[in-house]
């Protein structure tokens, strides 16, 4: 039987429209309203208290008791700003990793993207050294979304998850000695969730990235939040927030939130990654995603 070309075109348009909008009844805009659709992401990482060094086949470092502490920016603001001024460094305060105080001299550490700036201060002048962190190992994990509590199904909607964990070491020397006197660790965790339609096209993605500077066994000395998002037409970004917390404590976390929408359709994604001072692989990263319909057709309200 020959199907008219007009019918074929109409059927293709119908499938495309259905793939763009979740098949749920219009609600009041509340993601918890009856009839809405939820997709709970699986958590690929659930390793109890397995240590990151063990997982990568590395020897755990010893906890340096009575060692020189790495002071936070808020603990040494005056001397930090003096060193930055003398060294003519214009980085923002949030990029400051911390300060080592050796008594007659200090070393200020500043995050500079792929490297770390070490500013050595002897009370008069500042010497700046660029340190490239040494990659000790990395882990890549991925997993699809699993539908949960689906009152009504979407047409082929899916969410995929990718997680990258990278471990670096940074050796610090005092101004009086050329030998390394202190080692701190940088753990960069990135989790990306991609929300795709029936055709496998990415509607939106949320990436939460936390760069954790760890004084092993003592504290999370600094957290750099590098989270980002992506949305594709006809979806637009309604709200995007992200923040880090836990600096100076034994556990830190970075959270990211994205709300996006098109016409009456809405989608929301929340991701988080974390680290502790002992680098244990607890379920320190996770995410959730939900879709629903709103009575407002402006793409964001509700």
Instruction: Give the span between the Cα atoms of 23 and 25, in whole angstroms.
Output: 7
Tokens of 63: 């906890």
Instruction: Say which residue, 192 or 10, is predicted with more confidence.
Output: 192
Read off the pLDDT of residues 116-129 as tens digits, 9 standing for 90 and up: 999 999 889 999 99
15 has a pLDDT exceeding 60? no
Burial class (CB in 10 A: 0-12, 13-18, 19+), 268: buried
Q: What is the pLDDT of residue 283?
A: 55
Interval 45-68 mean pLDDT: 78
Interval 180-199 mean pLDDT: 87
Dihedral (CA of 90, 113, 182, 177) sign: negative
- Name all domains of the chain by residue range, CATH numbers in brackets: 22-53+135-293 (no CATH), 64-132 (3.10.450)
Q: Indicate the pLDDT class of residue 151, thresholds 50, 70 and 90.
A: very low
Q: Indicate the pLDDT class of residue 296, thresholds 50, 70 and 90.
A: confident
Q: Percent of the chain beyond pLDDT 70?
A: 77
Q: Indicate the pLDDT class of residue 18, thresholds 50, 70 and 90.
A: very low
Give which of 98, 52, 65 is closest to 213, Cα–Cα.
98
Q: What is the pLDDT of residue 44?
A: 36
Instruction: Give the span between the Cα atoms of 212 and 68, in whole angstroms.
Output: 19
Query: Would you state the torsion angle of the CA atoms of residues 93, 96, 101, 105, taken in this order, to the nearest 10 degrees?
Result: -80
Instruction: Give the span between the Cα atoms of 283 and 278, in whole angstroms.
Output: 14
């Amino acid at each position: 039987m020959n199907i008219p070309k007009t019918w074929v075109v109409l059927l293709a348009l119908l499938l495309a429209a259905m793939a763009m909008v979740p098949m749920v009844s219009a609600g009041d805009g509340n993601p918890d309203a009856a009839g809405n659709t939820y997709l709970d992401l699986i958590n690929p990482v659930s390793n109890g208290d397995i240590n990151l060094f063990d997982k990568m086949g590395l020897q755990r470092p010893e906890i340096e008791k009575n060692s020189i502490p790495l002071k936070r920016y808020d603990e040494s603001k005056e001397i930090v700003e003096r060193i930055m001024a003398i060294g003519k460094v214009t980085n923002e305060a949030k990029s400051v990793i911390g300060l080592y105080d050796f008594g007659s001299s200090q070393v200020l550490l500043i995050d500079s993207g792929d490297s770390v700036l070490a500013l050595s201060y002897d009370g008069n002048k500042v010497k700046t050294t660029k340190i490239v962190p040494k990659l000790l190992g990395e882990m890549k994990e991925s997993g699809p979304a699993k539908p949960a509590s689906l009152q009504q199904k979407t047409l082929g909607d899916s969410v995929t998850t990718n997680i990258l964990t990278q471990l670096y070491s940074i050796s610090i020397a005092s101004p009086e000695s050329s030998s390394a006197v202190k080692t701190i660790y940088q753990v960069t965790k990135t989790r990306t969730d991609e929300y795709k339609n029936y055709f496998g096209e990415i509607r939106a993605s949320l990436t939460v990235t936390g760069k954790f500077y760890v004084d092993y066994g003592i504290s999370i000395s600094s957290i750099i939040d590098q989270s980002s998002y992506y949305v594709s037409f006809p979806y637009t970004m309604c709200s995007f927030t992200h923040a880090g917390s836990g600096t100076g404590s034994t556990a830190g976390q970075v959270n990211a939130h994205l709300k996006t929408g098109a016409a009456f359709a809405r989608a929301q994604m929340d991701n988080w990654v974390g680290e502790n001072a002992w680098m244990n692989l607890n379920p320190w990263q996770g995410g959730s995603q939900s879709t629903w319909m709103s009575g407002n057709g402006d793409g964001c309200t509700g």
